[in-house]
Structure 1
Amino acid sequence: MAEYQTVQKFLASKSSGLEVAGSNPAFPFGEMMDKENILEGSLCYLIGAMEKAPDEGITWRTKIIQTCKEEGLRIKFLDPTNKVAGLQEEIGEERKKILRMKKQGRWKELSQLMHLIVRQDHRCVDLSDFVIVYLDPTIHTCGTYFELRSAFAEKKPYFIIVEGGKKCTPVWLFGICNHEYIFNNVDEVIKELRKIKERNVVLSDKWVLFPKQLKNL
């Protein structure tokens, strides 16, 4: 894939004395990282529709989190359907409250509440090491595209799952992202994450992952 080279290609470039463009490993700590699961402790934000999603966007997020746990990837997740204490919730009773505000025309209250939610969600993008995005072209979404744009602006690594695959992907996305990071389903993304854990790829310099010695400071 364009964003990271195979290990074999990277080693070949080293043996020839040449650096492969875009193949810089994002690990400036040398031997500290050699035997670690480089994904351990990394933070992933899960981006995807909630307002119009029948399940409020819970199912696919739950599958990713559970599968990564079973695979021993040890990734931490920022999940907007299950927020950490202190953040404004968006689903369940809070979703009903938001929709009541909209139905009753309580625009000032709605704007104030949504401003808080949007700010907190974009802060999750800021904090993340990478993002996973889920798009179902049959479900209208708004925040998903704004958050993805923020991830692009911050040079975050990304994985985009599109229901129906590339043939169902909005064509605009092909002009702003690498098509090799568009996937058909959750399982394909897990497969890529497993490759990273097992050091079967050399990451591009979009990846800035720190050893756990620094994460625990």
Structure 2
Amino acid sequence: MDQLTTVGIDLAKDVFAICVLDATGAVLQRRVLRREAFIRWAEQLSPCRVAMEACGSSHHWGRWFAARGHTARLIPAEFVRPFRPGGKNDAADAEAIAVAARQPTMRYVAIKSVEQQAILAWHSVRNGWQEERTALLNRTRGLLAEFGVVIARSADRFFSALPILIEDARLPDPVQAMLLEVREQLAALNLRLARCDQQIATHARSS
């Protein structure tokens, strides 16, 4: 493998497709390896350009390869697509990544540090809980509308109306019990969102 210059890797949780190119762009090797075998193979790899599609786990592997003396490159998926030969499969993706990495004008995604990814994890979780809260509010509004109760599309209005709705005579007992569960879930989500905001603010002050 002394002639290799570029390795394209199609990442996955358990199975990794690999395409190795030489200096002329000719394929030296194609392999599909399970995770343990892939790590053993990668640990013996001579220093070269290692390219991956920017996706889940790609920043981890980018740091992993860079720490072992390789030139790690992450390529946006839309820039890989034009170089895919034929139909989409793991082997074709690995080759497309390798070929794309050889293009002199290729644009790459910067590999994020552990610290950057840690704070981005808080942002991602916050977005998920925000969406969950919005969905719960909208779902509950729709259910209440079936009983002639209409609440303005504002989270603050909903929160202020909730204690009154729980005692509203227009709503049968099962619906009032449901609203108690909704109140409990909203309180938990609001607490999680506040903790996310605290973590993000702390990072912003220290960065």
TM-score strictly above 0.5:
no
TM-score normalised over the length of structure 1: 0.28
Structure with larger Rg:
2
TM-score normalised over the length of structure 2: 0.29
From the two aligned structures, give the one with the greater helix fraction: 2
